[in-house]
A and B are shown apart, each in its own frame.
Chain A
Amino acid sequence: MLNPKELSTLLSIIAEDEKSLENVSIQFHKTFQKQDVFKVECCLCSLLSEGLIFEITHRMVAYYLLYDSYRTDTLHANPFLQLFIQILKEPNVSQAEKFFVGSLANAPSKEFSKKSAKDLTKIVATTPIQTDTLSQSYHNHINIPPLSIQFRGISSILLPPDRSTKTKVLADSECMEELLREGARDFVPPFVRPAPPVYPGFHSEDIKWVTGVSHSFAWDDNMCKGRSNLDALLERASTTPLEQRELQEVTQLMSEASTQALEVALSSDQLVDVIEHNTQVAVGFILKMMSTATIDTYLGALERTQMSLQSMEVVNQLTSTVELPSPFLLRYINNCIDQCQRYKDKFTQQRMVRLVCVFISCLVRNKIIQVKDLTPPSSSVQSFCIEHSKIREAASLFRLLKNLETPNGNGI
């Protein structure tokens, strides 16, 4: 049951008679694993009952260990109870030892556990003891007939058949090892211990049928669906004016989309078409792209676009929202002026001239563009106005520019 190493460990623990009993018990439970404790305790019981522990203090430690493991249960539940009773009744056992064992029956206090075995031996030596009372107290606790005797089978230790045979003296340790070796204890008829059968369970528990039904993973059909709507709407915006609902939708989609996606969705050429049909969409698009590196491309397209009320409206709305680069504005104005010159139809030309002049006036009055930028040679606005001086708007623009040029005016 115990190999020599374990036996040696056990003997060294019970030899700690100068440590407090509590600490020895803690050491014992730390040394041996929980599942081995009962086995070790049985071996300790064997050593005690065979008188193979010779020091009284060691025996006291051993008794305490056998008691301490079951101290939380009733005394009756202690499997080594009979050993304690036997010690009390044994005539050859010292009074001190009997007193110690008897004290264990009366649920000793914490102070008792904090003392070492040696200390308790000294205390006991000075205390008068009545062993009958102690024995009775055990019986009072457990209520069994005093003369009950345990039958524990045939001991492995037998009388030699012939006393005259020479005996070889064994060391105590060898004797202990032989006693505690597996199979060398008391010979009792063994319990029959049938192994429990395998749990039958239900048919489908341990082995499951395969149904043959397979489930497919789901593909997200809505992939890029939002973007496609935007593409479609922008494409439509470049060909026809959108309805109010569509305008709202495309505005919403553009605000959610990334600039990269918008860049893919609408090229600069397409922007020109969008400007002609849906100025709001164009303005929203350019505003979204203002912070990107590609804005110059879109502004370049705006510059070169066919001059129209719509394009001027876009530029005008942009100027009121963001600060457009001055060079862009100048180029745009010059482009408009050039296009005006090319109209052959007088009526159309006049109309365009009026539009351009109003547009420039607006920019000047709102101080979006500087007057000095519109003076020659940087700009041909003044000559344009002179050329079309018969048109009222052109004449007004010329006067405006001249007024602002003089030192009295606000020469910005």
Chain B
Amino acid sequence: MSSSEVESALIAFQARDYDECLSCLDRLSHSKDSKVESNRWLVEYLRDGQVNTKDYILQLRSIETEPSEEAKQINKYNEALLLFQVSDVSGAEKIIQPLYTSSTTRKACDRWSFSVGLLYGDILIRSRDEQAMQIFKEMEDRFSVLLGSDSNLALNFHALKGHAHLQLGEYEDAQEEYQKMEKRSDRGNDIRMASLGARIETQKKQYDLALEHLSKCEGKDKERGIFCHNMGCIHHSMGKHHTSLWYLTQSIQNETEESNKGEKEANMKENRRGEVIVSVGYQLLMTGKYEKAFTCLMEGLRYNLRSSRLWLRLAECISLHHHTKYVQSKEAASYKRVRESDEKVILLGTTETSAGEPMSLAFASKCVCNSIYLSDTFAKEGRDAVITKGVLRASLLLSGYIHLCSHQPNLSLEHCKRLLSISNDPQERCLAAIYAAESLCLLNRPNEAIQVLKESSVEKMKEDIRTNTREIESQYLYSLAMASSHLVKRRMYRRRYPSGTERMPLCCPPISVSSEAIKRERESN
């Protein structure tokens, strides 16, 4: 009978025996029930190791005629979970939010509604939305019975709620959630509990305690990926970027090994790889390995094109790489002697990479412009206001530098002026003023250059506790002198030589002149 087939399919699904489950679903296919088809797609996706995510999303979206509202909701939930896994947080949020709203009318012991709420809360945490806490409070009231009866659900709930508290800086509340988890957990080395405890201590800068928390889960193979990743987070907060890098690469290697062993449900799914790659790229950037950082960040772009921070990091890689090469080339300036003569010729080495290279200033210009565009877009949408402003300011400052290096003083000036109008940070203002002044001098407007430098007062900067204050101050004063020198009102140089003289470009053989030029000079005189 078909009802027993339905039960068999469910039992096989819960036991993760996907082949058997598919066999049961095959026998039910005559019923032409679209729900059988939906379940079949799900089982095939899980059986194949959750790699064909895009295909599965397209299948879910292709169902248009679903008579049952419940079935629609289940498909929508699965779609939201998929988008969440591929880091399309905004897409996932758009789908899950109406589901959550409609689920509030259902019974309080409904596990389906609880799952929807938990996923919604996790999505809001990931998008740093403060509404996450409100969702968790509502759920705590609605599902008190369910939370009391099911320990696993309770641990999931308190873990996420604790992380939500930490995002709001509420350490005490996060600690309370941790203690609730301790009471409900039957083992002391639950990875969820350990991760929350470690994060609490990390944010309080108690790194030893953080490491102690996490080390409880060190030996467990299946959770090693999470363990390594979170160890990377701790060391990143400690400023130990090399160690952090080591742990993050270990987490990627572990996840790859688990997949190779056939562990279809490795804890760190393939789609989280994108986030880890970006974290690795950031550590490489902080440790000065710009080219490798660039490669990792470009890989991370595949998973998230709409990250303004990611574009900013790419531009930083290129600009620091360029700056390093420029400094090295100045130190190793080549001296070329052109023919035997009384003059020596000094040739300055060029540091400009060609536009065709991946790490070129032209590409850096595109990256930083993308970052500015996305930051403006997110600001209009009201997303992550504090972080968006910070990224925008950093992008404008970097743009000022990059466009100066690539001989685009107009664009550099425009962005520096914009930054000066929105930033109160002394170091940012000082650097922006330096770039703006150079741009204005290149554009033959030294008056304005001096004005810009004077307006971005260096006095405020002295209050800053950062150690490079003195260096910035000296650079600022140098720029001021440079701009002023452009206005020296004395005749230092004649454009045209007096009659009878000859001119020669310095870098030519020293006794060569242009015949036409001589002729013109003589004719004019």
**Residues of chain A at the chain B interface (Cβ within 8 Å):** 35-36, 38-39, 42, 49-52, 54, 76-77, 79-82, 86, 90, 92, 148-163, 165-172, 174-175, 178-179, 181-184, 189, 191-199, 201-228, 231, 258, 260-261, 264
Contact = CB atoms under 8 A, between A and B. Distances in A.
A54 B516 CA distance: 8
Contacts of A165: 511
Interface string B308-349: 010011001001100100000000000000000011000111
B505 A179 contact: yes
A211 B444 contact: no
B139 interface: no
A199 B407 CA distance: 24
A97 B296 CA distance: 57
B506 A157 contact: yes
B233 A207 contact: yes
Nearest to B427: A197
A141 to B, nearest CB: 15
B507 A219 contact: no
5 contacts: A90-B496, A149-B490, A156-B505, A218-B115, A228-B3
Given A79-B442, A175-B514, A218-B78, 4 more contacts: A159-B503, A191-B438, A194-B431, A211-B125
Given A150-B486, A204-B167, A211 B160 contact: yes
Contacts of B387: 201-202, 205
Contacts of A261: 30-32
A218 B74 contact: yes
Contacts of A210: 195, 226, 229-230, 268, 272
Contacts of B409: 38
Contacts of B261: none
For chain B, which range describes its interface: under 10, 10 to 19, 20 to 34, or 35 or more residues?
Answer: 35 or more
B237 interface: yes
Interface string B420-454: 00000001000100110110011111000000000
A167 B486 contact: no
B122 A209 contact: no
A361 B430 CA distance: 111
Interface of B: 1-3, 5-6, 9-10, 13, 28, 30-33, 35-36, 38-39, 42, 46, 68, 70-71, 74, 77-78, 81, 84, 112, 115, 118-119, 122, 125-126, 156, 159-160, 163, 167, 190-192, 194-196, 199, 202-203, 223, 226, 229-230, 232-233, 236-237, 244, 248, 267-268, 272, 275, 278-279, 282-283, 285-286, 309, 312-313, 316, 319-320, 323, 342-343, 347-350, 352, 362, 365, 387, 390-391, 394, 397-398, 400-401, 404-410, 427, 431, 434-435, 437-438, 441-445, 468, 471-472, 475, 478-479, 482, 485-493, 495-497, 501-517, 520, 524
A189 B482 contact: yes
A193 B435 contact: yes
A170 B9 contact: no
Nearest to B229: A210
B160 A35 contact: no
Given A193-B401, A194-B431, A210-B230, A154 B512 contact: no
B508 A209 contact: no
A260 B2 contact: no
Nearest to B330: A190
A16 B228 CA distance: 67
Contacts of B475: 192, 194
B159 A222 contact: no
Given A159-B497, A202-B387, A218-B115, A79 B445 contact: yes
B514 A38 contact: no
